[in-house]
């Protein structure tokens, strides 16, 4: 790595607007400090909806408005090149993690700082793309199902938006836990959801969830248009509810039904467990596009359009 004063390429946002306002610029490589002591050379960075919301002025941490200009991006995979902290991972270790969430993004760059507890070693046999695609969606799904949802084997969970990045993880993790999975998806993604472990797929373009008459123990919601959840015969006082998206201001009944929206948090132990599953072929993330920083619009536009059916990645090293 170059010495002090060296520069790197990064996608920079000068003012909130949209992802189209991101500019590829040369900025100083960040210096590790007491809090964020690990410097990672980024090999792959995942584009998540939260990154586009940040560009649009709706960041997970409103305080980011005071930190412009900024570089978005939380999910990264790469190699530790400096460690000024007290982490257990040596320089040269391949790592991945959800870094800086929600207050200090920076993954859409050639280098990014991380706290030692935000990154974990990537197992042998797991590529950078697979690793970068996992942290935010994997941790969000795990925490929704088990920490907030209390899912147990033999229960039935409804996953709305099963073909999305988080939805795919929800289906796989719930299926592996021994739960029955009902998922919503379009007809073109029904096969994908079934292959991931969904026992029943409801085509939201032609079917209503009100036709699902089985008992639903847990609802994990990843979309905004879910009014018919309230009218499902199998949903009642016994049903536990988690929403991972903000609901429209005029959807009072839905917001009352779901309550507060939990925010994902870093968890190195869980992330290492999920990576082990990836290494064993028991968990996967579907990557649909990989683009260098200079062609970032390929990945950003795909996420912005929705219904990508998988993860979009940036490759800063390319």
Domains recognised in the chain with CATH numbers = 7-134+285-315 (3.90.180.10), 137-258 (3.40.50.720)
What letters, b where the CB count within 10 A reaches 16 and e where it falls short, cover 255-283? Answer: bebbeeeeebebbbebbeebbebbbeeeb
Enter the pTM of the model: 0.95
pLDDT, residue 88, reads 83
pLDDT, residue 250, reads 75
Nearest partner of 88 among 112, 118, 110, 133, judged by Cα:
118
pLDDT, residue 265, reads 95
Element (H, E) at 269: helix 268-279
* Residue 272 and residue 283 in contact, taking contact as beta carbons nearer than 8 Å: no
pLDDT, residue 3, reads 57
* Residue 213 and residue 195 in contact, taking contact as beta carbons nearer than 8 Å: no
Give the count of beta carbons closer than 10 Å to the beta carbon of residue 60. Answer: 17
Q: Under 8 Å CB-to-CB from 295, ≥6 apart: which residues? A: none
| Cis-peptide into 69, omega within 30 deg | yes
pLDDT, residue 247, reads 85
pLDDT, residue 4, reads 64
Q: In this predicted model, what pLDDT tens digit does every residue of 46-59 receive, in sequence order?
A: 999 999 999 999 99
Please identify every stretch of the chain with a pLDDT value under 50, giving residue numbers as ranges: 1
Q: Under 8 Å CB-to-CB from 99, ≥6 apart: which residues? A: 40, 74, 75, 76, 105, 106, 107, 112, 113, 114, 115, 118, 119
């Amino acid at each position: 790595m170059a010495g002090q004063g060296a520069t790197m390429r990064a996608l920079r946002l000068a003012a909130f607007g949209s992802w189209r306002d991101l500019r590829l610029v040369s900025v100083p490589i960040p210096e590790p400090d007491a809090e964020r002591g690990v410097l990672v050379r980024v090999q792959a960075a995942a584009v998540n909806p939260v990154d586009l919301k940040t560009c649009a002025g709706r960041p997970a941490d409103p305080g980011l408005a005071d930190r412009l200009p900024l570089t978005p991006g939380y999910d990264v995979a790469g190699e530790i090149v400096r460690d000024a902290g007290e982490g257990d991972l040596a320089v040269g270790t391949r790592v991945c993690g959800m870094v800086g969430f929600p207050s200090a993004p920076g993954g859409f760059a050639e280098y990014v700082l991380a706290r030692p507890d935000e990154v974990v070693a990537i197992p042998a046999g797991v590529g950078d793309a697979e690793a970068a695609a996992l942290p935010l969606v994997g941790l969000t799904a795990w925490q929704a199902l088990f920490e907030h949802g209390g899912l147990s084997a033999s229960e039935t969970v409804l996953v709305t938006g099963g073909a999305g990045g988080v939805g795919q993880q929800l289906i796989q993790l719930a299926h592996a836990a021994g739960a029955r999975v009902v998922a919503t998806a379009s007809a073109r993604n029904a096969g994908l959801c079934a292959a991931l472990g969904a026992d029943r797929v409801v085509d939201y373009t032609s079917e209503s969830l009100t036709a699902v008459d089985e008992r639903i123990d847990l609802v994990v919601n990843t979309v905004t248009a879910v009014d018919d959840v309230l009218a499902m015969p199998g949903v009642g006082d016994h049903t536990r509810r988690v929403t991972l998206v903000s609901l429209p201001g005029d959807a009072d009944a839905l917001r009352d039904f779901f309550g507060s929206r939990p925010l994902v948090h870093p968890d190195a132990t869980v992330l290492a467990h999920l990576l082990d599953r990836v290494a064993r072929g028991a968990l996967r993330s579907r990557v649909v596009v990989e683009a260098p920083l200079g062609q970032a619009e390929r990945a950003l536009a795909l996420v912005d359009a929705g219904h990508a059916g998988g993860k979009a990645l940036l490759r800063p090293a390319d």
